[in-house]
Amino acid sequence: MPRPSQMLRTTRASLDDAILGRLHDTRPTQRTECRHVDNAILKGRRRSRPPEEARSLFRAAYRGEVAALHVLIESGADVNLGCSSGDTALHIAADCNHVQVVRRLLECPSINVNVVSTTAGSALHVASHRGHVAIMVLILRHPDTNVNITMPGNSPGTLGCSYTPLCLAVQQGHEAAVAVLLREAATDPNVDIHVGLRPLHIAAFNGYTSIIARLLQRHDIDRGARAQSNLTPLQVAQVAEHPDHGAIEQLFLEADLAKTSIEGDTLSMQCR
């Protein structure tokens, strides 16, 4: 994906600092990629070594050992134990895409699916950022899941930002993950990430045509939302000068026509 600095070709050099400097890198900083977990979690952090019970849970979650996890749970292990940053076994399993481990953890009556760590947000944030759709579906089925849960920016460039799982899925270009989240009626497609920027701005800036199309299908999407720069999502796409900006403009035009048609039909029915 081109860096935003390479894409900006107008005198509106700011295009909102949040797009250029803050939203380019919304990745959770914790992520182990499932290869550093032994040093980062299983062996404990220098300043805060997790108790043995937590390390056993983390190890089973990291390795995908459902049987070992089941034994730990049946013996009374606290599945909500976290490491120094707050990551739990559910975070690790979601990160490593261990579907059966996530399923077993979610079966625990005491599981807190909305634990937000300082580096990765909730388990739904992790799965959405990774594009682990099967994990997302399982988490979203849990009755306590907050689909609009936010995680704060955790670096100097992202302070003041507030990311939902949808924001991360859009930023990373995971269309399937975006589709799963948008199917949830409770998902807010107009969440203000920072300085008025919405998921549609981010999709437009990155030129994610298919994701733009999915966002525009939501009846409650605010197509004309303006960021602090006073730019709408369509204007952001125009400023970014994507090769397929014509296709993006067509999507917005079709969305406007569809809404006008629906409003016209509604008015006609009311007048009868």
Instruction: Tell me 105's DSSP state.
Output: H
Residue 242 pLDDT: 79
How many residues can be counted in the chain?
Answer: 272
How far is Cα 123 from Cα 127, in angstroms, rounded to an integer? 6
Residue 257 pLDDT: 81
- Other residues' Cβ atoms within 10 Å of the Cβ of residue 201: 29
Tokens 């203000």 correspond to 192
Q: Which of 40-49, 54-63, 108-117, 239-248 has the least mean pLDDT?
A: 40-49
Which of 108, 74, 67, 75 is closest to 90 using CA atoms?
108
Position 59 confidence tier, pLDDT thresholds 50, 70, 90: very high
Taking only the tens place, the pLDDT of each residue in 215-252 is 999 999 999 999 988 999 999 998 888 788 889 999 99
Residue 53 pLDDT: 87
Q: What does the pLDDT average to over 146-167?
A: 81
**What is 231-265 written as a DSSP string?**
--HHHHHHHHT-TTHHHHHHHHHHHHHHHHHHHHH
Average pLDDT across the chain, whole number: 82
Residue 38 pLDDT: 46
Q: Which conformational region is residue 221 in: left (phi greater than 0), alpha (psi within -120 to 50 degrees), or beta? A: beta
Q: Which two tokens stand for residue 142?
A: 């849990």
Q: Which of 144-153, 174-183, 211-220, 263-272 has the least mean pLDDT?
A: 263-272
Residue 4 pLDDT: 35
Residue 17 pLDDT: 59
Residue 50 pLDDT: 62
Q: Is the pLDDT of residue 56 over 60?
A: yes
Residue 136 pLDDT: 98
Q: Is the pLDDT of residue 51 over 60?
A: yes
Position 259 confidence tier, pLDDT thresholds 50, 70, 90: low
Taking only the tens place, the pLDDT of each residue in 183-213 is 999 999 999 988 889 999 999 999 999 999 9
Q: What does the pLDDT average to over 253-261?
A: 75
Q: What does the pLDDT average to over 70-96?
A: 94
Q: Is the pLDDT of residue 99 over 90?
A: yes
109 versus 52: the higher-pLDDT residue is: 109
Residue 154 pLDDT: 63
Taking only the tens place, the pLDDT of each residue in 101-131 is 999 999 999 999 999 998 889 999 999 999 9
